[in-house]
Amino acid sequence: MQTIPLYHTTGISGFKITRIRTVANSGKTKTLKGQEDCQKEMRREERLQAKGRGGRRQMIISIKRNHAVCPYCGSEKARYYKANMRLIQCHGFGRLKTFIEVDVHHIYCPECRSMSYEHLPFLTNPRARITRALEKEIVARRRKESITDVAEDFGISRRTVRDAEIRALELKYRTVPLAGVKGIGIDEIYVFHNESDGRQYLTIVRDLDDGRILNVSRGKGEAALAMFASRLKRLKEPPRIECATIDMANAYANFIENNLADCTIVFDHFHVIKMINDKINKIRRAAMARINAETRQALRDLDLSQQEKEIVEKLEKKLKAKQDKAKKILKGNRDLPLMNKEEIEKDPKAKAKLDRMLAEYSDLGKAWILKEDLRSIYAEAKNAVEAEALLKAWIDRASASGVSELETMARTMKQNLDGVLGFWKFRGASNARTEGFNNKIRWLIKQAYGYRDYKYLRLKIFDLPNIKPRDSDC
């Protein structure tokens, strides 16, 4: 029987077909003679599936080697001794689920006197139960479809689909080249909610130029980058990394100083603005807490007699109404102080609410003004010299504000001024793409309803820049 159809449908060469048959669920067997019979069975299966009665039969193709070859020396004088029979799934003939039936042998070579177990060249590994061609198709389909959809379409288990994808990703990302990398971004993301001791985090290192993932490691801080550091040391020609964008965590700064001597630290402006927004939120919450404390103190200071108990209830209602009014301003409009000046100007109602809030709560007003001043520095400063002068003036104003949160941020900015100025030395260096990529990781985990297997998640993150979001599970 011809082997050409076998090669074109399954990618198998070096074997010949000895028998083709269909096996029903009842055990009934039907031998097929040539391609014409195969076509008839294929069309029959399609008709039965259209009626909802398909999937009850399987096609089995029995094959054997054309000649024996030693896997070590290539000698064709090798002798085969039958060991066992394997049933391996391959591409289906139409909608017929199809298997390859092949005898696996022990091989003895009189030339090199070696004894080995036969390796089937159409398998990715000796224990695989699907052909290399089918595995390749499964991996390609996973780009567009969920594990469940692929498994159901091919009639295989979800585990088989996942294992095939893992093998393909391991082969693809076994080594990630670092040559030509000039700028990196380092950031962590909270992923594993049931872990502790920093294992809830993943630390991601990305190439700032093309967005490639250079390293994914469990945990956060300098310890999480130990594997990446050892990898850099093993390279004969380490990459000339000029800048690294990080947040103001000392751990990442220490890693760069210890492993990337010529690298300039750039404190990402995204994190700088995020920091002052966090301070604004703390000031707002502190104002709310102060209102609650004042209300409780006012009620405690009431010195009323037994006969005046009825008045207490009225006073409590009045004080509570005042408290609720203040809370409505602070809590009900929590996003207003975080909005940019340009956005506020477009909405007159929002501007009126913000002006009232800032007028009633001076600390909040000071924080908002300093936030906008900081944004204007990033927008208007043309070089590092100009930015340094403006930032020093900003730090002085924040230090003299009398607001503890702003004073804390001023000290932080002063201590890390060189890293903040790195933004102007490497104009455009930012972790914005890394932060956006973190959202993509969250999407990946959400679509898959979480990952128990860290190894699988790590490989998926490496491949994530090549995947477009879709409305299906991962």
Asked, for residue 471, whether it belongs to a domain, the answer is no
pLDDT digits (tens, 9 = 90+) for 413-470: 888 888 888 888 887 677 777 777 888 888 888 877 778 788 888 899 998 887 765 5
User: How does DSSP classify residue 201?
Assistant: E
pLDDT digits (tens, 9 = 90+) for 26-65: 788 888 887 788 888 888 888 887 777 777 788 888 888 7
Question: How high is the pLDDT of residue 1?
Answer: 42
Pair 377, 395 in one domain: yes
Asked, for residue 164, whether it belongs to a domain, the answer is yes
Containing structural domain, residue 116: 4-122
Confidence of residue 472 (pLDDT cuts 50, 70, 90): very low
What's the CA gap between 143 and 390, in Å, rounded? 49
What's the CA gap between 412 and 249, in Å, rounded? 11
What's the CA gap between 29 and 343, in Å, rounded? 74
Question: How high is the pLDDT of residue 292?
Answer: 61
Q: Evaluate whether 398 touches 407 at the Cβ level (below 8 Å).
A: yes
Average pLDDT, integer, range 384-403? 88
Question: What's the mean per-residue pLDDT of the chain?
Answer: 78
Largest CA distance in the chain: 115
Asked, for residue 278, whether it belongs to a domain, the answer is yes
Confidence of residue 355 (pLDDT cuts 50, 70, 90): low
Asked, for residue 457, whether it belongs to a domain, the answer is yes
**Lowest-pLDDT choice from 140-149, 280-289, 370-379:** 280-289
Q: Evaluate whether 448 touches 162 at the Cβ level (below 8 Å).
A: no
Cα angle, residue 214 at apex, residues 208 and 459 outer, rounded to 5°: 130
Pair 195, 278 in one domain: no
Most confident of 4-18, 114-128, 171-185: 171-185
Pair 273, 188 in one domain: no
400: pLDDT strictly greater than 70: yes
Average pLDDT, integer, range 131-141? 89
Pair 9, 70 in one domain: yes
Asked, for residue 381, whether it belongs to a domain, the answer is yes
Q: How many domains does the chain have?
A: 4
Average pLDDT, integer, range 154-170? 90
Asked, for residue 474, whether it belongs to a domain, the answer is no
Q: Which of 172, 199, 233 is the last residue of a domain?
A: 172
Residues 18-51 as b or e (16 or more Cβ within 10 Å = b): eebbbeeeeeeeeebeeeeebeebbebbeeeeee
Residue, of 163 and 362, whose pLDDT is higher: 163
471: pLDDT strictly greater than 50: no
Asked, for residue 323, whether it belongs to a domain, the answer is yes
Asked, for residue 178, whether it belongs to a domain, the answer is no
Pair 221, 338 in one domain: no
What's the CA gap between 87 and 123, in Å, rounded? 12
Pair 108, 203 in one domain: no
Average pLDDT, integer, range 364-372? 79
312: pLDDT strictly greater than 70: no
Pair 393, 411 in one domain: yes
Pair 38, 81 in one domain: yes
Question: How high is the pLDDT of residue 4?
Answer: 45
Pair 315, 418 in one domain: yes
Confidence of residue 264 (pLDDT cuts 50, 70, 90): confident
Residue, of 266 and 428, whose pLDDT is higher: 266
CATH of the domain at 222: 3.30.420.10
308: pLDDT strictly greater than 60: no
Average pLDDT, integer, range 295-316? 53
Pair 302, 413 in one domain: yes
Question: How high is the pLDDT of residue 33?
Answer: 80
Question: How high is the pLDDT of residue 10?
Answer: 59
Q: Where do runs of H (alpha helix) occur along 173-268?
A: 226-234, 250-259
Pair 286, 419 in one domain: yes
Pair 274, 409 in one domain: yes
